[in-house]
Chain A
Amino acid sequence: MAEQIRLTDIQKHFTVYERPDGKWALLRAAFSRKARRVQALDGVSFRIGEGEIVGCIGPNGAGKSTTVKVMSGILTPDAGECLILGRTPWKERIAHVSQIGVVFGQRSQLWWDVSVADSFALLKDVYAIPDGQFARRSAELIETLDIGGLLKTPARQLSLGQRMRCELAAALLHSPKILFLDEPTIGLDAVAKLTLRAFLKEENRRSGVTMLLTTHDMDDIEALCRRVIVIGRGRLLYDGAIAGLRGKYAAREGQDIDEIIAAMYRDMALES
């Protein structure tokens, strides 16, 4: 299994400005801002091989999205190394992003007032996809994601679940080698979640695309990933099979996975 992604000791901090509170807060805010440093990533390292599906979990504010942004080449870390398909994402952004696909559950990458079909046609130009390949691939994605009826609709008129399916098709049209998904199932109904999982699994099996997805839904992880990465407070806390987490944190036999994860998060909070 060839290695495709390697992160070594990635660090990233943000500076957040706080408004002073109390009397005259607004007035004082005009003159002084209190800066606070937030260490979003504090030395994250992992490797992912070709064709793997890796789930990334962690409490809110742990640094999952930040990790995905660094790997997508849209955020430059303070320190550390990141090699994806032999490239450093933020140094060769354009070459890098033409090889990967990214889906953010909470954000749209489609053109708002352009119909889905037109968006696909634009992406064909953007990624220079040859005619034959485009025809084949788009037909395939339209069928498996069942978006044939949405093609004439502008993205802004789609419902969340409809949009998500179109986003996925748009991210896979150019047959990327790697797909990053940041909370792809957020806000989806039960049927849509199941469809999405089945689709991702099938896509991985058929075209061997490597996937890394972040989620808060443990069912996503159980359905899709053999391997999980746990990030907490900007650090990598666990990397391995889900069974290992069960073994470490389950208080009793047959405990619900969400309870186990909650126990783990509580444990982490105590540790530091």
Chain B
Amino acid sequence: MLFSKAYVRKTKRGSVIKVLKEHYLRDDIYCGVPGCQRCPEHTTTLSAEPRQTTAVRSPHYIVPDTNILYHQIDVMEHAAFVDVIVLQTVLEELRHRSLPVYNRVRALTAEPARRFFVFCNEHHRETFVQREPEETPNDRNDRGKPFNRRRPIRRAVEWYSAHIDSKRAVVLITDDRANRAKAKDAGITALSLRQYVESLSGFPELVDMVAAVGGDDDDDMDASAADKKFVYPEHLSPTQISAGLKSGAFHQGVLNISAHNFLEGSSMIRVNNEEVIVQIIGRENLNRGVQGDVVALQILPKSEWRSGVSTVLEEEVVEKDDLEEPTTDAATVDKTLDKALQEPATEQELKPTARIVGIIKRNWRPFCGTIDASSVHAGSTSTQMQSVFFWALDKRIPKIRIRTRQAQSLLGKRIVVAIDAWTKNSRYPAGHYVRTLGEVGDRATETEVLLLEHDVPFAPFSPLVLSFLPEEGEAWVVRDDLHLANREDFRSWDVCSIDPPGCTDIDDALHARLLPNGNYSVGVHIADVSHFVKTDNAMDLEARRRGTTVYLVDKRIDMLPGLLGTNLCSLRSNVDRLAFSCLWEITPDAEVVSTRFTKSVIRSKASLTYDEAQARLDDPKMTDSVSMSIKALNMLAKKLRARRMAAGALTLASPEVRFRMENDSQDPVDVELKELKDTNALVEEFMLLANIYVARKIYECFPECSMLRRHPKPPATNFEDLGKALEPFGVKIDASTSRTLSDSLDAAVDPNDPYFNKLVRIMTTRCMMQAVYFCSGTLAEPDFWHYGLATDIYTHFTSPIRRYADLVVHRLLAASIGYDKTYSSELTDKAKVKEMSDVLNYRNRMAQQASRSSVELYTNLFFKGKTVVEEAYVIRILKNGCSLLIPKYGVESFVYAAPVPNQPPLLALHPTMNALTGAGPDGEVVIKLFDKVRVQVTVEEAGVAAAQRSKLVLRLVEPNVPGMCPVVETSTARPLGGAATTPARTTRPAKKPKRK
């Protein structure tokens, strides 16, 4: 039954090498159609009685081609599509083109209820089609699209038509017209996806979801006539781009659109082996590049370079009146805008600019957002197809044109939209509707949006994952007969935990005990999560995928199922728990004499909050063993900390806030800044100590594959701007080592303003690099340095319940001490560890951003219906405005003057100083960096009528610059007017300047 078909092909991988592969053809691959007369009985997911539609009268199965699955995966994922035959040819092509799409198709084929059947046509004796000599999977045609292998697909459909009985049919779905014609010649029924979807009854939304690009099908591409007037420069072909990249004429970079100006992008490129940031300014230079795309850039001549100071420009403001199809006016507005943005800088330092000549790889993802209400034709009936605009929540994404039949019902909803294409004669990208999430402003919907936007996996744990939990469930207990092997019994020790109030996932506990020799025995006990989560089972894989627990203001997205996180692993008081202990003998001078690691069983004597622990610390009368233990720990922590500070560890700051919620409605009623107590520092100190010692241990045993954490030294250029801004205050920032930086931060004090030092620390934090996980075998030892903590090696060991990296480190440590002798090969695979660190770094970044967005969401909720006047500090000067930080709420936003054609700007950059000037009622007003100003804070909501992005709006109150200051709303000013800016509701009497 084995047939061999060996063939030769070339692949290109640096050098040309000849790859010889065997290809076996088989007779034992079956069609998957139930009740087939020609095949023996076999398992299949297809149903015996598939559906019939108006287009295809007989019951039929569907065979999509590669482009359909690639471009229209959203449609194929819709529950309406069942009884689909996926060909192996298609799957292989998909994997070459896009792994994420391939994985989505695989998820469909793995789900029996969806009835997607994979037919291995490439290995079937009768359907195998020899590749044509010039046709290899890596080949691309002149339009940069990979070949769609049509012949084998048609051959397979032909075979099916002949193979199955006459009562049922097989339909080829392809958007390639030529392919359809050829299929008709061969007697195969072939339809485009749109044709097929329109013949389906009961799924009106499906038509909306069909992507606007359908391969060669151009009948859907009727972009409006006005649109055609707008022409972007042509993108270069992949061959031209790669030639240009090789010759050095072009540079490759990832496009990053500025968060405060949709027409300003930047990209990090390598020129002569040096990393350079180039700016890409204006619609024409951006040339259809979208945030995150990998683009080919051409550096512009020096005469077009400009200063690094940027302008604030918000798309919804600029394009507000541009709701109808863009007119020729729009083009002129664009020109003026582009010109205004590109105004040659004065004597300030010039920074290179570039233009996009081609796109190397699009990085489009589905976007959450809302329909622009004013783009919906009011009078239209609900089912009429129309073009509407979509605003993505992410400000860096341009508005997207979608075609929909349900425009009216989508108003005021959060929906998901995917971009399909951006042709050169279309001003905006074209996309399609994917699904509806819920009402705008609904808290559950907004939270889901936030999680989707940050790619946080938040679905409930699957039954498969949960099946790996201990069978006993809540009733699980430490059993001496089962769990004590190779574990030390510390249950009699005075261990306690100190955490924030309301903490349910306690992953660390501590103890300290005076030894007879005058030294202290100190232990850090960490929840033994690796005991419950075994390598590579479904629960482990899910935790690895999540990477970290994500903390939002109102909820927590756990990395591990709750039973483990908040119960079995959580080191609660007065129950036996498994732990991984790190034990030291420490002298009263806080010198470590010896270190030991062991798996253990502990019984925490008390779960304290920071305040409770602080109370025990402060009360000299408390002499019970736990209190004495805390006192000893505190004494040692202070000495350890002093030593760490002397070595140059940094104390940085971030304006973190906490919301006080109203209990029943979960509405934020107050905002407070998080503050630190002695006990916080105590716990932190010992966690650092444990992490450092564990890092040394695992690195000693596994020098090639340890998962460590490093914090690179920030390049001196990061501090240039800050240094310049601080010059007038007589403060110098020296970042050459963390030691000098720490000293300069301590010296940065303004006797008149106690907040000044904090502000400098906040700004310094932003100049820092991100700390990252890495695999020890991939870097030289000096690069292991952790700049912020001033330590030569570091890792994460102390929070395995909420961080996957810690779990990996636990496994490494268990292997290092010989506890786990049968560890998996994956643990010591350098490439795997590197890959895993990259994923974890990404997940951590996303989790952080999600938390920040959540705070932002609640800040907006907090300010809803309020108008507050607050003190703010200028933390960044831009061309037409400045960025402000309000310490009281930890809020940061912009105050800026929108550019108005033919009028001098209300706020302008001072020609020589890094400051803004404006005309005040009593002469010129100058706003410098670190100036204290007063602003009015309101929230502008994304509502049903003005369906845009919800945002905080700041208006300058002091200094008074007419035109920049709050005005009493008139009825014509804004349709939504409403409570948002009613002065009567200000919480503090504000000095309201009248408009002159």
Whether A and B are associated in the same complex: the answer reads: no
